[in-house]
Structures are given as structure tokens and as C-alpha cells.
Amino acid sequence: MWNADRMTWRSWLPDLAVGLGVLLVGLVEIFRIDASAYVDDPRPALVLVVVGIAGAAALARRLPSVALAVVWVVGTLQVLTGTQLLMTQLAIGVVAFGAARWGSAATVLASALSIPLAAAIAVVWISPSVFYTALDTAGFEMLVESTRFGDRWQVTAAVAGMAVLGVPWLAGLALRFSARADQSRASQVAAEAERDQAEEIARLREQQAQLARDVHDVVGHSLAVILAQAESAQYLDDVDTQGLKRTMQNIATSARSSLDDVRQVLASTSGAVSAPTRQVDLDALVEGVRASGHEVVSTEVGIAQPMPPELEVVAFRVLQEMLTNAIKHGRRDQPVRVERHWEGDLRIEVQNTLDTTAPETEPLVRLDPAAPPPPAGQGLDGMRRRLEAVGGRLDVRRRLDPPTFTTTAWVPVRPR
């Protein structure tokens, strides 16, 4: 608490120094007045004027509206009482500067109107003796003796006063707009930094989502194949050791391949990393499903076209997820049909017969058309996101008679 109060007082020190300086200059000017030349000693009233102007100068930065009000109170009393002017009152320019620089919009407007209004009051109410006495008191005796402004002294005084107050007021206004421009630039820089940060967060989240989709596709497919191979081993004869060895070898190969794929996914630093030839071999995916004991009928229409690595990866992952769903939810005694059509885009279609006796574990095997559709699973959502990212699309259809599930993907063969 004490430190906070100390910092508050320290922040006021420059303002107090300005006020004290104005007060000292004003007192020196008052002490130079020859009181014998007056019927009544003007110095007590002038001390109050100097104190008021010094206080206004001290408040110009912190409380510009109050400082402007103090100046008007002092000036009004000075005019009503006929108290002479002091050159120290040029310090009102400090108040004009503070009102334009730190005041509210209303204070800026009031200070702008005060300058010509004060000049008009000076022309109407101030007598020549007050004007020349102020010059003489400030030490401009030679100017008073050698120059007389005649009937034009009011205009001269008004113009001089407007210049004395207008110049600092304009300077304060210029600094006000300059500070606002600096704040606007700082706000723009901060907004750009926040935007860059938001973009970076969005990019990291997208990379995280991409990583999750890749791991889901790789691990989900491999585990589905391994599970199918392990289940097929249950139907081997006890004496068929060679068949059991082949099954175990297939399981080991699938697990090893899955580990390699997971290592590659985790080691990648971007969403579009070219994969080894083995990974983008669509025929190898089909053969892997056949090795698990599922019958696969694969057809290819048209001439295969070369594709950029990133599109090959999309085609591979999409077909991988299609086959995974077919293994998990299809009947083992019915074939999985895989068609690839090279007709402009690569159209991949996978159809399987649904196992109606198995419990539903994914939204895509919902058999009751009257039931509300559950939210899409990671597999369908991942395929759709992959395809949309490269300009492709996904179509999913279910039929109840016969109960089949068909997934069709269009993958562009050229970047879009």
C-alpha cells in the first residue's frame, strides 16, 4: 500500500514542479510592483491570481477540465475586480496545451472556444492602463515608453493573447492525434499478433487432428486385419500346422507394417508427407484384406494415372478406412467388392454385405431407418475431411434389401 502511494506521488512530481515554477515566477513579478503608485495595494489580490494560475498549471495534465475551470474562475474575478494583468498569466498556455492533449472531447471543445472568447473579453473589458501596467511590471518599460498602440491596443492584445494560447493548444492537439495514431498502430500490431497466434493455434490443432486421423486409419485397419486373421485361425484343423504358421506370419507381417506406419506418421512434421511406395500401393491393401480370410472382388476400370504423392496418400488412407469398415461390419461369408474407376478423377467404391446379427458398434451400420442418425464416427469424418481438403468428396449409402453398405470416394488425380 505504501509503495503504491509512493508511486502515485512520484507520478505527480513533474506537475507539482510546473506549478511551483509558475508560482515562483509570479511572486517575483508581484514583488517588483511599486505599491506606492496605487491607492490600494494590489499585491494581495495578485498573489491569489498567481496561486490560481499555478494550481491550474499543475492540474493541466492530470485534470485538464478542472484546470480550465480554475483559469476561467481566476480570469472572471480578475475582470470583475479590475485587478491588473500579470505576464505570469501567459502560463495559461500550459493549461491550453493540457486541455488539447489530455482532455476529454468536451474539454477540447471548451478550450478551443475559450481562446477567442477570452480575446473578446480582453477587447471589451480590459482598460489600456491594465495592459501597459502588465508590460511595465514584466520589465518591458522601454517597450511601453517607445511604443504606444493607440486605439488599436485591444486588437493587438487580443491577437497576442490568441497566439500565446493558440500555439500551445494546437501543439497539444497535434500530439493528441499523434498519440492516437501510435495507439492505433500498436493496436493493429497487437491484433495482427493475436491473429497470427490464432492461425498458429488453428494450424497446430489441424495437425493434431490430422495426426489423430492418420493413427486411427493405420491402427484401426491393422487391428481389424489382425483380428480377422486371428479369428480365421480358430477354424483351422488341429493338424494344419502349416496353415497356422501362415496365419501367424500374416499377423506378424500386419503388426510390423502397422508399427512402421505409426512410426512414419509420428515422425512426420506436416500433413502432406510423401509416403514410401509400399504405403501407397492400393493393391497391397486389397491383398492384405484377402490374407485375413475375407474374400475380396477387386475390379479396375480405365487406365491408372500417375498422382502427386499427397493425393496418393489420400487415396490410400481413404481405401484403407473403407476396407477397415468392411472387415469390421461385413459378413465373412460374403465378398467385399472394391472398384476403382479412372474417369477423370479416381472413383473408389467399396461395398460389403452387412452382418445383421452383430451388435451395432459404428454409426454406419445403423439398420433402423426410423431411428435418429447418431453422430459420424472418426472414420467417416476423417475420410470426408481428407477428401474435402484436396477437392474430393465422399458418398455413403445403406440399403436394407439386401443389407449392404456402399462407400464411394472421388479423389482428384491433380491438385486443385
Compute the average pLDDT of residues 378-390: 83
- CA 224, CA 218: separation in Å to the nearest integer? 10
For 13-56, write each residue's pLDDT tens digit.
899 999 999 999 999 988 888 777 777 788 889 999 999 999 99
Residue 122 or residue 300, greater confidence: 300
Cell 474374400 sits at which residue?
295
Q: Is the pLDDT of residue 138 over 50?
A: no
Angle between helices 153-233 and 378-389 (to 10 degrees): 120
Higher pLDDT, 336 or 369: 336
Give the pLDDT mean for 190-197: 90
- Percentage of the chain with pLDDT > 70? 79
pLDDT digits (tens, 9 = 90+) for 249-273: 777 777 777 777 777 777 765 544 4
Q: How many CB atoms lie within 10 A of CB 409?
A: 25
pLDDT at residue number 157? 64
Strand boundaries in 344-401, DSSP class E: 345-353, 393-400
In whole angstroms, what is the distance from residue 203 CA to residue 206 CA? 5
| More confident call, 353 vs 136 | 353
Reported as a single tens digit per residue, the pLDDT across 299-351 is: 999 888 888 888 988 898 899 888 888 888 888 888 999 999 998 889 999 99
| Residue indicated by cell numbers 472394391 | 338
378 compared with 325, residue with greater pLDDT: 325
> pLDDT class for 145, splitting at 50, 70, 90?
very low
Say how many C-beta atoms besides its own lie within 10 A of residue 381's C-beta: 15
Give pLDDT tens digits for 150-165.
555 566 666 777 777 8
Cell of 278: 509400399
* Residue 3 pLDDT: 52
Contact 91, 15 (CB under 8 A): no
CATH number given to 201-411: 3.30.565.10
Q: Give the mean pLDDT of 137-148.
A: 46
More reliable by pLDDT, 157 or 62: 62
Q: What angle do CA 2, 16, 116 make, to 5 degrees?
A: 135
Helices (DSSP H) in 32-102: which residue ranges? Answer: 43-59, 64-81, 92-102
Q: pLDDT: is 290 or 272 the higher one?
A: 290
Mean pLDDT rounded to a whole number for the chain: 79
Residue 279 pLDDT class (50, 70, 90 cuts): very low
Give every CB contact of residue 184 below 8 A, 6+ residues apart in sequence: none
Tell me, what's the pLDDT at 112?
92
State pLDDT tens for residues 103-116: 999 999 999 999 88
Alpha helices, DSSP H only, in 239-347?
241-267, 282-291, 309-329
pLDDT digits (tens, 9 = 90+) for 68-99: 999 999 988 988 887 877 888 889 999 999 99
- Threshold 0.75, pTM exceeds: no
Give residue-wise pLDDT tens across range 221-251.
777 777 777 776 776 777 677 777 777 777 7
Please give the residue that has the higher pLDDT: either 136 or 254.
254
**391: alpha, beta or left, given left = phi > 0 and alpha = psi -120 to 50?**
left
Per domain, the residue ranges of the chain are: 9-148, 201-411
163-180 residue pLDDT tens? 778 899 999 999 999 999
Is the pLDDT at 2 greater than 60? The verdict is: no
